[in-house]
């Protein structure tokens, strides 16, 4: 059985633009260092009005660079050339309207923009500005045009209360979301192999209620489905995420549909599968539900000693029955002990294109964990073992496997 994990080079330039959202970059740089990523920070002149080079140098454990360094002949080679060639990825956060316009027209008048032009690696953009500024037709034109360049990736702005007290679009993505995108780009090295594809993903556990406060369920948190949605989005796909109860936000750019029961999930999955190129059933669906439901909370003394149960719909079997020849259907098999034998049986019985067999009886694996390990199997007989890694890394490995 082949074992696979993608080796990563992890060298990231963080380029900080001028805006109050620059304070969020401190957390991002700190998290990157804790993730064993080498970081170099470049600050524009306006960025230094909001945050100091010393702060980011301390967090990155390396000198931060400004235009004062750019114009001083103290390096053996030009600084922007050294940084551009060194980087596996450049992240510009916050991206201002001014820097956006310069990038779109190939202009370079400071260390930040010269470093971008002197590089060939992917560039991740996290814009932040006032709502009226962000919605200006000229700004949107620059944004859309720049994203047609295969080097550039953009994180959508969020909506909420801005520093100007305006409530609307233009809020920079949170550090955790930027960090996830960085991890994706370090894995894929910038390839967008899912552009034009529509991916339908289910995530999390379903709940089958006995009354308004009691249900049959499982410990699934939906983190694996969330990671699949993030990975697909970062590789260029349009993603619909059908999820059970979750304590995480749906990523910007992903269409999220919340459901509760297996019947709700089945209905929504069938409604959305027609246009999907790939369907991934990673949700942990309950197998049974109480036969009878009470709309009022049952007193403890009224709970039955033997609870009558009935089976819930077999969602993946229904998806398989409705699948078109060009569609790819992938299932998950969470198992204890021997994980491969039951997964192979499910692969064949449900007529799946591939299946992910993952153990749930190991420490820091499976339900609720940030990590996972698995064996990928497909109908052609391929079998690849994925050692313990983050769920985001596993999601990318799965797309590598099926794409």
What is the per-residue DSSP string for 360-388?
Answer: SSSTT-STT-SEEEEEEEETT--EEEEEE
What is the per-residue DSSP string for 143-188?
Answer: HHHHHTSTTEEEPPPEEEE-TTS-EEEEEPPPHHHHHHHHHHHHHH
Under DSSP, is residue 105 helix (H, G, I), strand (E, B) or coil?
A: coil
Distance CA 113, CA 108 (A): 5
Dihedral angle sign, alpha carbons of residues 403, 250, 87, 237: positive
Q: Cα Rg for the chain, rounded, in angstroms?
A: 24
Q: List strands edge to edge, sheet with 11-16.
A: 38-43, 11-16, 89-95, 123-127, 152-154
Distance CA 26, CA 10 (A): 18
Tokens of 360: 């749930």
From the list 158, 21, 151, 26, the residue with the least C-alpha distance to 94 is: 21
Under DSSP, is residue 83 helix (H, G, I), strand (E, B) or coil?
A: helix
Under DSSP, is residue 93 helix (H, G, I), strand (E, B) or coil?
A: strand
Contact status, residue 16 vs residue 44, Cβ threshold 8 Å: yes
In 3-state terms the chain splits into helix, strand, coil percentages (rounded to 5) of 35, 25, 40
Tokens of 240: 């619909």
Which residues carry out catalysis?
164
Strand ranges in 204-327 using DSSP code E only, listed in sequence order: 208-211, 214-216, 238-243, 255-258, 278-281, 288-290, 309-311
């Amino acid at each position: 059985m082949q074992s696979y994990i993608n080796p990563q080079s992890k060298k990231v330039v963080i380029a900080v633009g001028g805006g109050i959202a620059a304070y969020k970059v401190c957390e991002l740089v700190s998290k990157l260092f804790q993730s064993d990523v080498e970081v170099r920070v470049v600050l524009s002149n306006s960025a230094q009005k909001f945050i100091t080079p010393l702060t980011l140098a301390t967090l990155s454990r390396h000198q931060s660079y400004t235009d004062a360094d750019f114009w001083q002949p103290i390096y053996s080679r030009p600084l922007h050339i050294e940084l551009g060639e060194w980087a596996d990825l450049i992240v510009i956060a916050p991206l201002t309207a001014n820097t956006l316009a310069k990038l779109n027209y190939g202009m370079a008048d400071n260390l930040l923009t010269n470093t971008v032009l002197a590089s060939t690696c992917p560039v991740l953009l996290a814009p932040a500005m006032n709502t009226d500024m962000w919605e200006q037709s000229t700004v949107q034109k620059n944004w859309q045009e720049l994203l047609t360049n295969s080097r550039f990736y953009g994180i959508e702005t969020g909506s909420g209360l801005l520093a100007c007290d305006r409530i609307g679009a233009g809020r920079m993505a949170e550090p955790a979301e930027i960090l996830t995108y960085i991890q994706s780009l370090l894995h894929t090295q910038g390839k967008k192999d899912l552009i034009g594809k529509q991916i339908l993903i289910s995530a999390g556990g379903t709940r089958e209620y006995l009354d308004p406060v009691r249900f049959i369920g499982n410990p699934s948190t939906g983190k694996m489905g969330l990671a699949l949605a993030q990975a697909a989005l970062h590789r260029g796909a349009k993603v619909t995420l059908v999820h059970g109860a979750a304590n995480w936000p749906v990523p910007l750019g992903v269409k999220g549909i919340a459901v509760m029961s297996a019947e709700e999930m089945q209905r929504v999955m069938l409604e959305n599968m027609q246009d999907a190129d790939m369907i991934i059933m990673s949700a942990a669906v309950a197998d049974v539900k109480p036969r009878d439901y009470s709309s009022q909370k049952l007193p403890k003394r009224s709970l039955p000693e033997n609870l009558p149960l009935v089976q819930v719909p077999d969602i993946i079997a229904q998806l398989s029955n409705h699948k078109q020849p060009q569609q790819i259907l992938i299932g998950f098999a969470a198992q204890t002990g021997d994980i491969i034998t039951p997964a192979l049986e499910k692969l064949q019985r449900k007529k799946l294109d591939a299946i992910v067999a993952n153990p749930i009886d190991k420490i820091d694996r499976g339900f609720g964990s940030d990590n996972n390990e698995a064996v990928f199997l497909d109908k052609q007989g391929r079998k690849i073992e994925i050692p313990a890694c983050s769920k985001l890394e596993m999601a990318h490995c799965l797309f590598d496997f099926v794409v």
